[in-house]
Structure 1
Amino acid sequence: MKVASKVALFTTIAGAAMLIPGIAHAGGFYLQEQSVRGAGRAFSGEVADQGAASLWWNPAAIGGLEGGDAHIGFSAILPNGDVDNSSTVIVRPGQPAAPIGGGQRSSNPIEKGYLPTGAVAYGLTPEIAVGLAISAPYSFTTDYAADSWVRYTADKTKLRTYDIQPSVAWKVAPGLSLGAALNIEYADAIFGNYLPNLSALQPDGHQKLSGDGWDLGWSVGAQYMTGPVSIGASYKSAIEHTLSGSMETTGLLGALAGLNGTVETSAKFSTPWQATVGARVKANDALTINGQISRFGWSEFDSIDLGAPLNVSIPEDYRNTWSFAGGVDYQISPKWTVRGGIQHDQTPTRNGHRDARVPDSNRWNYALGASYALSPNFTVDAAANYIDFKDASIDRTTAAYAGSAVQTPILVNGQLNNASAVVLSVGGRMRF
């Protein structure tokens, strides 16, 4: 099997973007449901709030902690949306452009997701606290039917990441805490797509890439509290992931049959850095107002670099984005607190570069939540979010067997329509 031929074959799916979901619940392929309390106010005050529940956003959140603090949460992510064909065509060698056959609408290709999260922290001294947060910040599954019009750019895609964040915080002065953390992240991915044979009368072939690996990043943060005001800022580094795995190709016929087989390979890509600032202002004994702004360095995801024997780089051209959120907490009684918030989040994908593997778009997140203190040391949290996605084009041209004599362009022209998601979360916080 010739390596050059394998490279041409691999660009069919790699050019469609590796390891990224369709409809996510923050921009790109980031899942922000790392705190039930935060979900209830649309993640508007996490970088400036205290306790283990805010540890993902700011390692300084446990500064000055006395005793122990823990939280656990669970979110059910229920997406909906249609991925519709407009006028996508395939151009086989020596043949006129032909419409893509099969199903012209893929409804709800993003599978339901269930996301656990948790953290624990303990104050070792009045100044020093340590903590550990476990989360799954980039996890999803998409599944298109075998006859979908998008089958040559996306089939089934599955990504799971598990982030282990050991943290330490130091209360350096009254009201001022600094924090630092490592982000130890494991990624496991499977993704694939169908491949056109040279005759439209022949069944499609198929290609699947799978891999996994451990990688490392870091986080730093600060919090300052004075009177009724709490201010927080944090930075979470990009993480360069290196996945080791294999590519399996099956079902190619005739002149393409020599491309069938399995190749051991690797792939490198980077998840974005995050810079966040926010504040919480206690307006009176009952009402707290929250605001948060995040900048995501999605331009780090500029390419996917494939290792030997392929040794090619696939451009992705993601852009940096902003997220803006505002919300309130209102304490009705010593036991009951209600909250709400609104968030606007940009997509890092660009028009002309968006495909069905990641039919992402700008979105608004509307949130409501509540907490009930069962005892002075244990509180139950619940939240509901409705996320409304803007309709967006799916228009990234790709090609099977790119750069070879049998290059087969797929001129994609489709649309993401009627996309939304409901996220239901429940959890608890405990002091010990």
Structure 2
Amino acid sequence: MLLKASLVAASALTSIFAFAGPANAQAFYLQEQSARGAGRAFSGEVADTGAPSLWWNPASIAGMTQAEAAIAAAAILPKGDVVNNATLIRRLGQAFAPVGGEQVSRNPINKGVLPSGAIAIPLNDRIAFGLALSSPYSFTTDYAEDSWARYSADRTKLLTIDIQPSVAVALTDWLRVGASLNVEYADASLSNALPNVLATLPDGRQELKGNGWDFGWSAGVQMHNDFMTVGIAYKSGIKHHLTGDLTVSGLVGPLAASNRSLSDVEATFSTPAQIIVGTRLRVAPKVTLNAQAVRFTWADFDAIRLGAPVNEALPQSYRNTLSVAGGIDYDASDRLTVRAGVQRGQTPTQNGLRDARVPDSNRWNYGVGGSYQLTPRIGVDLGANYVTFEDQTIDRPTAAYAGTAAQTAILSDGTLQNAHAIVLSLGARVGF
């Protein structure tokens, strides 16, 4: 069926779940879930304590002596250019020709604010319950209608809401354990252009919208003494099931029969698990060093599997990755703590398989920040991050209407250039 071939080969549906850009930890994961953590480039969260660390390690709230609530918001301000070098398209019965259109897409990743929050309530001096709310995969990108990348990316929007109820227990004076359920809602929409048979004709368009609820889990442990804490946590991947609507329009001539609207289109994909190991070491009365490493099983995002009426698997070929970070906390006074850190992260995307909707690359994240205790029960956290991205190729080949007489090959040849982001985080902690 021509419609089926156009959806699969143009890789339009693959993009509904692949949101990347110059503000994330890796690919389409957002790590900005704590203003305190942002100030040290997320170098010690799995080994720290209290509600702000609940996302990284449910054991962080064990043994708390008072209830605590934490809220934070991160303003994400990305910039970058997605530049065409020599992308070619070959329409039916024609030779390869330049794709045309806008040749430099400036700042296609939208600015945004990412909220997060957590609360922890001790039942006694050893057991505590907690609840974290986060949005770990939320993102919006906009390319111009005539962008050179229009056949793989137009507008993409994703909203996720993760609800993480947790329980933690201090088994001994030095050992804490915790476990969580991750209940995650995803709502996504995307659109991209479809080439008509002649370059002189306006492009067609397809748009997909979907949503769904799914589940994962987290578990963690912390071991500590008077000067050192070691934290280890595991966050499972989540297999998402989205159901939504697909609309194809604007195709003319021999392609016109593919214009239609479909409902109850299904797709499944898996986000990566995280294995997190970190430590906090107090080397002086006022100085604490932090270190953290995260292993992402991005190879689990190997394909997006589409149900009826498409019934195809779309390979993604992501690779497993590692991020490492180090930082320092300095207690400048009884009320003020200042901190700094640096993080190095790998991209899971691979050369030859990277498209404009996922213009991801390896990055460095530099963070500074601080905490100020306004009263014995109220504290404020600030963080600022500067993230730099390596220039990287945009080079995934696609073919619209593959396997039909109208097959249209698109050989992408572009570059992500001058990409960087500023992230400003503000948070508050209240004990009660």
TM-score w.r.t. structure 1 length?
0.98
The equivalent position to 1:17 in structure 2, one of 3, 15, 31, is 15
CA distance, structure 2, for counterparts of residue 9 and residue 127 of structure 1: 58
User: Structure 1 counterpart of 2:357, which letter?
Assistant: R
Which residue of structure 2 lines up, in the alignment, with residue 109 of structure 1? 108
CA distance, structure 1, for counterparts of residue 19 and residue 186 of structure 2: 14
Which residue of structure 1 lines up, in the alignment, with residue 147 of structure 2? 148
CA distance, structure 2, for counterparts of residue 22 and residue 120 of structure 1: 29
User: Structure 2 counterpart of 1:7, which letter?
Assistant: K
CA distance, structure 1, for counterparts of residue 262 and residue 181 of structure 2: 34
CA distance, structure 2, for counterparts of residue 262 and residue 227 of structure 1: 63
Tell me, yes or no, if the aligned pair for 1:89 and 1:100 is still in contact at 8 Å. yes
Which residue of structure 1 lines up, in the alignment, with residue 4 of structure 2? 7
Which residue of structure 2 lines up, in the alignment, with residue 252 of structure 1? 251
Q: CA deviation at 1:22?
A: 3.1
- 2:242 paired with 1:243: yes
CA distance, structure 1, for counterparts of residue 361 and residue 15 of structure 2: 16
Which residue of structure 2 lines up, in the alignment, with residue 136 of structure 1? 135
Q: CA deviation at 1:21?
A: 1.8
Alignment of 1:13-412 (within 5 A): 13-14=11-12, 17-23=15-21, 24-264=23-263, 265-412=265-412
Query: Structure 1 stretch 360-369 or stretch 401-410: which is displaced more?
Result: 401-410
- Secondary structure, counterpart of 1:37 in structure 2: helix
CA distance, structure 2, for counterparts of residue 361 and residue 209 of structure 1: 26
CA distance, structure 2, for counterparts of residue 310 and residue 187 of structure 1: 21
Which residue of structure 2 lines up, in the alignment, with residue 419 of structure 1? 419
Cα deviation code 1:34-74 (max 9, x no counterpart)? 00000000000000000000000000000101120110001
Q: CA deviation at 1:157?
A: 0.5
User: Structure 2 counterpart of 1:87, which letter?
Assistant: A
- Secondary structure, counterpart of 1:17 in structure 2: helix
Tell me, yes or no, if the aligned pair for 1:19 and 1:157 is still in contact at 8 Å. no
Tell me, yes or no, if the aligned pair for 2:129 and 2:168 is still in contact at 8 Å. yes
- Secondary structure, counterpart of 2:382 in structure 1: strand
User: Structure 2 counterpart of 1:375, which letter?
Assistant: T
User: Structure 1 counterpart of 2:189, which letter?
Assistant: I
CA distance, structure 2, for counterparts of residue 402 and residue 59 of structure 1: 47
Q: CA deviation at 1:9?
A: 1.5
- Say what the alpha-carbon RMSD is for the aligned residues: 0.8
CA distance, structure 2, for counterparts of residue 406 and residue 262 of structure 1: 21
CA distance, structure 2, for counterparts of residue 154 and residue 13 of structure 1: 9
Q: CA deviation at 1:14?
A: 3.4
Tell me, yes or no, if the aligned pair for 2:12 and 2:191 is still in contact at 8 Å. no
Cα deviation code 1:292-350 (max 9, x no counterpart)? 01100101100000011110000000000000000000010011110000000000000
Cα deviation code 1:194-247 (max 9, x no counterpart)? 001001111000001110000000000000111200010000001000000011
Segments of structure 1 that go 5 or more residues without pairing to the other structure are: none
For these two proteins, the number of residue pairs brought into alignment is 429
- Secondary structure, counterpart of 1:96 in structure 2: coil
- Secondary structure, counterpart of 2:2 in structure 1: helix
Tell me, yes or no, if the aligned pair for 2:20 and 2:357 is still in contact at 8 Å. yes
Cα deviation code 1:146-165 (max 9, x no counterpart)? 01000011000011110000
Tell me, yes or no, if the aligned pair for 1:235 and 1:274 is still in contact at 8 Å. yes
Using the aligned pairs only, state the percent identity. 56
Tell me, yes or no, if the aligned pair for 2:16 and 2:189 is still in contact at 8 Å. no
User: Structure 1 counterpart of 2:20, which letter?
Assistant: G
Tell me, yes or no, if the aligned pair for 1:16 and 1:153 is still in contact at 8 Å. no
Q: CA deviation at 1:93?
A: 1.1
> Are the structure 2 counterparts of residues 318 and 349 from structure 1 closer, same or farther at C-alpha, using a change threshold of 3 Å?
same
CA distance, structure 1, for counterparts of residue 283 and residue 297 of structure 2: 33
CA distance, structure 1, for counterparts of residue 72 and residue 302 of structure 2: 33
CA distance, structure 2, for counterparts of residue 280 and residue 180 of structure 1: 21
CA distance, structure 1, for counterparts of residue 400 and residue 60 of structure 2: 49
- Secondary structure, counterpart of 1:173 in structure 2: coil
4+ aligned runs moved over 4 Å, structure 1: none
Q: CA deviation at 1:15?
A: 6.5
User: Structure 2 counterpart of 1:182, which letter?
Assistant: L
Which residue of structure 2 lines up, in the alignment, with residue 429 of structure 1? 429
User: Structure 2 counterpart of 1:85, which letter?
Assistant: N
Tell me, yes or no, if the aligned pair for 1:17 and 1:316 is still in contact at 8 Å. no
CA distance, structure 1, for counterparts of residue 209 and residue 336 of structure 2: 47
- Secondary structure, counterpart of 1:375 in structure 2: coil
